[in-house]
Every structure is written in structure tokens, then in C-alpha cells.
Structure 1
Amino acid sequence: MNMESRDLDIIRKGISNWNMYRDSTILVTGATGRLGRYIVEALVDIDLKYNLNLRVVGMARNNDKAIEVFGELLEFPNVSFIYQDVNTPIEYDGDVKYIFHTAGPAAPMDYKRSAVNTLWAHVNGTHNVLEFARTHGTKRIFYVSTVEVFGEQKADIKIAEDYMGPLQHLKSRACYPEAKRVCETMLACYKDDFGIDFCGVRLCHTLGAGIVLDDGRGFAEFIDCALKGVDIVLHSDGSAMRTYTYTPDAVNAMFMIMERGESGCMYNVAAEQNLISIRDLAELIASLSPKKTTKVRFSQEASNMPYLPFKLAIMDTSKIRKLGWSPQTDIKKMFKWTIDSFC
């Protein structure tokens, strides 16, 4: 991926104890995915910077994707990969001190292709991670969850970590949020029964270099249209409000939580200053089109994509901000940099 130096600077900001990883082995599941690739590259970078003698073990589904994402980084002596499905028990000999568990389908296109596969990839995958941690000397697991666990937000208020709203569980679209809820409970159970420490993050929309443009996410579809110079078509009035966080800012928060987050706690992470309506976001992305030919128009036809169904999904981030986190990237920069990464 050849991460930009500015992105590494953002990830490193405010982290004071990189030494916690000295002489440690760190497993990153979903290593070639949207978040995993940043975590792997950041760990290699801090190992070189501080001579920590750490080992990064990436887990991915296939070698070709790892080569495409990481290239020469795979030849580094402190990097190794295991290639397998997260649904199967993890095959690695030796202790692993820290685990960043990012694997699992998380896009509307995944639910559309197979709600069953989406559900079990999260449940089986997290179970396999926890069983591995139980038998491989793991000190702490970091879990990546989602704003969707909160369910429907009934009032125009920011959602604190202890909020839990209704979820329409008899719809297949619930495969993702319900699986994430089960996984969070699974972590709590393993902590109580086996003493396996965990912490984690609940994210809203994150983006940056390396996103997939055809996975059914609204903003990715808008970016794809902007790159092609075609119109962005909205199938609603575009009034739904969302926050958008630059991936390096989110990864910075993840390392901060892993370093000094409270045991057994999940933290909301979102750049609240980047709150914008779907309509205004479409107009912003259209204005950044390299071809300068993209416009926004509306259609009466309903979309067949299972987008996040709630009008509001705004998280309260005061808890992570008390740890010292402050996102560095405004909404125009993050979308410009993301579009630039494809040019």
C-alpha cells in the first residue's frame, strides 16, 4: 500500500508507550482489509523507528492479496503471514502477546451476497480468536466493532457507550449488528471465565487509501462515480446524517485504546466534527471529481442495497477523548486524499 508519511504521523500522534510491544508477537486478523493493513504497516514502522524486536503475524485469506497490498514489506524479517479463513481454528505455533481482531465482512454488498456467511464469519471468527488467545499466552485482544450494535436511535442525541436501542432481529440485514453484539458478549464471557483481557472500538464510517469502491457503501459508490466522472444518484432525500473518520485517525485511536484503554471496555470513535448529511456529502464528493463532470441528482426508485437503515447514528466520543484522542483530518481533506489515492 505504501502508506503516506502523513498517515503514519497521524497514527503515531499521542502514543507514548510503543515500548509495550517490545519483544512481542502481535497477530492482526483481516490484515489485508481496510483497517488491518494500516495496523500492520504502523507496527512495522514503529519497530524500525524504535528497534522493538517485535514480530507481526498477519492473517489473511490468500497470498495474492497480501502481495498486492504489502509488496516488499512481506520480505521484512519481522513480518510473517498465515493464510486461512477466519472461520477455521487459527494455525500458528508460539505465543502471541497481543491480537488486533479486525477480520469479518462489514459492507452492504456482503450482506446482500450472503447474510449467513456474514453472520458466521464474525461469530466463528471471534470464537476462534478467543480460543487461540486462551491457549497462546495472549495478554490483550483488541476488537473492532461498529456503531450498528446500538440499534435504532430514537432521539436526536449522541449515543454513549452504554446505550442500547432496538434492532429488528427478524430481518437478514441484522446479520451484521447482531453478530457484533454476540461477539462483544463473547469477549466479556471469556474475560470472566478465563481472564482474557480485551478492549475495543465502535466505529462509524471510516475511509482512506485502500477502500473498496464496489462494496456497496454509499460514500464508496459516490467516490467511484466521481472518479469515472458520472453523476451521483441519490435514492432518498439525502437527509440522513453520518460522521466520517479518516482511517489513520481511527487507527491512532485504536493504538491509544490498546495502550491505555480500560479493561473490558468498548470506546466510541468518530470524528464528530465531520458530521454531514448524505446529500451534502454527495455534493462535496462531486466537487472533488478529477474529471469535473460529476453532478448530484435524485431518483424516485428505491435502492436495492441494504444500507444502514437509521436516519441518525451519531456517537458520543467523550470517553475516547479523555484518553487524549483528537482526530486530525477534516472531511474535505479525507475525501480528497482518498480520491487522490486512486489517481
Structure 2
Amino acid sequence: MLENLEINLIVKKELSQLVNKHKKLFDKFDNKTVAISGATGLIGGQMVLSFALYNQLYGKNVNIIALIRNNEKAKNLFGKLYSSISFIEADVREITKIEHSIDIIFHTAAVTQSSFMVEYPVDTLDIMYQGTKRLLEIARQHRSQFVYISSMEAFGITDPNKSIIKEEDIGYIDLTSIRSTYSEGKRVCELLTTAYAAQYNLKTHNVRLAQSFGPGSDRNDNRVFSYFANSALQNKDITIKSSGKSMGNYVDIRDAITAILVVSQQGEVGKTYTAVNEDSTMSIDELALLVSTRFSSKKSKVIIENNEIEKQKFAPDTTMKLSSKKLRTIGWHPDYTITNMFDDMISSWR
């Protein structure tokens, strides 16, 4: 049934296993309509694929509406599943209505490239706020549920005296830094969804993801996990342009999907939940050493450059270790480790 779908074989295999293991989560959406923004991005794209594979595997009828900006990219990503999905090709800031009735909107669309955030800070903030408000208005029109996919960058620079950071432990964001448009924008959008819940009685939720990657991640992504892996595979040195001591918090893309679905079904309205695998938390230089050891037998040397100019392109160093305790109390737990994430990501590249 799943043969010749013309999608990445490792992604198909991993997402099919995910759907099989967590079928009860997907069953809740049978005969319902889900709208997913950012549907050619990593999170949105794999959510669309998961629902489409669920339909294929079990003969179910989840109606999928995918919001995209590039139709050709969608065709390449979804292969023969493309015909089973409804698409809206538009800038998320320009969508004013969706004709079909909608039961839930998963808003995953986001700017992800730091270089874009620095070069186009106004656009970065505008895409987040205006896009989220547009989709909240559509949710209001349909009286649909709304799940906003936020980022751990919303925490800012947290209190270094706190060993564990929970959802309410919001820290400092430097409003003089143009790179802050992303982190402050995430905070504003979280607040906006909560405001819609309070004022318009919408069923909204926020899922604050740690850095997510795994099978299906773009090999050309400019974030550290892709750069480290590419360097190690080519036995090239891994250059860290910061102190390397900033703590990294991670969650596998597959665990991120189940977190989003659990929150949509069990989460408290208007609240925020953090998805992270605490066992995968480590400093950036530790992550680089792990990748170098695992994929190049340490032939890739880890070099700390601490470039003050380059550091401005990235989120500031942080000591925070995130907690998923709140999310675990409503039934979620991570299944994949940091080594699973790298192993399966690289397998999907090959």
C-alpha cells in the first residue's frame, strides 16, 4: 500500500512506525479537517506526511489542508501523496479565509534562518505576528481549535541560578538586538493565542519546542546540527563561532509531532507546554564532540573560534536546561535520543 509513493524512504519508514505506534493519537482526527501552515517546512511537512500516511495505512479519512508558499517544493516533498492533500499556496499573512470547514489549525510556519532574521528583522516580526493573527481569525470564523508551534527561544536568557527551566521561567530578551525579533515575536504570538482564548473563547494551545531535527531534516539547513553532521561526514573541522558553552536543548522531530498531538487533545486551553528530551541536553561543544566522534572517529577537530561578529547572527548563549515535566503529566514522553536524531537524519540524507 505504501510502495512507490515517491517520498524519502527513511522518512516514510520512520513516520509509518510513528503512526503505528501512536495510532490512538491519530484516530482522534479521523473524519475531521486539519489545516497545517508551513507545510513544506520540517515540522509542518512531516505532520502532513504523518496524517497522509495514516490515511493510507488504515483507510482513514483525515482531510488535510496544507498551507504552502511553493507548489513545486510541495510536489517534490509529498510525491504521490500530493493528490490526496488540499493545498493553499499563499503568504500566510495574506490568507483571509478558507472555504472548507476546519476542525483544527496547526500553525507551524516560521522563519528559521538566522541570516534572514538579521537581514530582514521587520519581515521576521511581521511574518510571525500577522501570519498568526490571520490564522487565528480563520480559527475564529470556523470556531476551530488552534495550536501554535513556538520555540525555546521564547525563554530568552533565563536565570543562571535555576537548574531547571519550566514554562513560566521566562528570561531576558535584549530589545536592542535585531536578532531578538524572532524570540520576542514568538512570545508575542504565544500571548496572542492566549488572548484569543480569553476574549473569543477559542480553544488555543502553545507548544514550545526545543531545537527539533531528525529524519527528513534539510541537509542544506544552516543550523548547527546540520553543519556539524555535514562537517563530520566529510572529515572537516567543526568550527564553533561562539564560546561553545551555551546549553543546547533538543527534541526529535517525531517526538515533536506526538507532543503537538498530545497537547491538542489533552492540553489546557490557553496554556504553553515545552517539548524537550532532557537526556539530550548538552552544551554546543559537547554536541560537536559527539558528532565528531560518532561520524568521523574524531578526524573532524572541534575548533572554538568565539567570533564576536558572527555571534550576533545567533541566539545569545544560555545556561538553561529545559523541563518537559508539564507535558509529561498529560501523557507525553520522548522516544528518541540525540544519537537517534543524528543517525536517522543522516540515513535520510543518504
Compute the TM-score of the two structures, normalised by the length of structure 2: 0.90
* Secondary structure of residue in 1 paired with 2:250: strand
State the AA in 2 paired with 1:327.
P
CA contact (8 A) 1:146 1:203 kept: yes
Alignment of 1:253-292 (within 5 A): 253-289=259-295
Match of 1:151 in 2: 156
From the superposition, tell whether residues 229 and 135 of structure 1 become closer, same or farther in structure 2 (CA, over 3 Å): same
Distance in 1 of aligned mates of 2:310 and 2:243: 16
CA contact (8 A) 1:199 1:258 kept: yes
Match of 1:42 in 2: 50
The answer to whether the aligner puts 1:226 opposite 2:226 as a matched pair is: no
Match of 1:316 in 2: 323
Name whichever structure is richer in helix by fraction: 2
Alignment of 1:63-142 (within 5 A): 63-76=71-84, 79-138=85-144, 140-142=145-147
Alignment of 1:158-197 (within 5 A): 158-197=164-203
Distance in 2 of aligned mates of 1:174 and 1:340: 34
Q: How big is each residue's C-alpha offset from its partner over 1:130-151, in whole Å with a ceiling of 9 and x where there is no partner?
A: 111111241x111101112122
Q: How big is each residue's C-alpha offset from its partner over 1:279-309, in whole Å with a ceiling of 9 and x where there is no partner?
A: 1211121234369842222335435252221
State the AA in 1 paired with 2:125.
L
Please, which runs of 5 or more residues in structure 1 have no aligned partner?
none
CA contact (8 A) 2:242 2:308 kept: yes
The answer to whether the aligner puts 1:212 opposite 2:218 as a matched pair is: yes
Q: How big is each residue's C-alpha offset from its partner over 1:317-336, in whole Å with a ceiling of 9 and x where there is no partner?
A: 11111122221111112112
State the AA in 2 paired with 1:308.
A
Aligned-residue Cα RMSD (Å) equals: 2.1
* Secondary structure of residue in 1 paired with 2:179: helix
- Relative to structure 2, which stretch is displaced further, 100-109 or 217-226? 217-226
Match of 2:249 in 1: 243
CA contact (8 A) 1:227 1:339 kept: no
Runs of 4+ in 1 over 6 A off after TM superposition: none
Match of 2:18 in 1: 10
The answer to whether the aligner puts 1:58 opposite 2:69 as a matched pair is: no
Identity of aligned residues (%): 29
* Secondary structure of residue in 1 paired with 2:319: coil
From the superposition, tell whether residues 18 and 152 of structure 1 become closer, same or farther in structure 2 (CA, over 3 Å): same
CA contact (8 A) 1:109 1:216 kept: no
Decide which of 336, 339, 342 is 2:343's aligned counterpart: 336
The answer to whether the aligner puts 1:25 opposite 2:25 as a matched pair is: no
- Displacement, 1:226? 2.2
Please, which runs of 5 or more residues in structure 2 have no aligned partner?
1-6
- Displacement, 1:46? 2.2
CA contact (8 A) 2:219 2:349 kept: no
State the AA in 1 paired with 2:324.
T
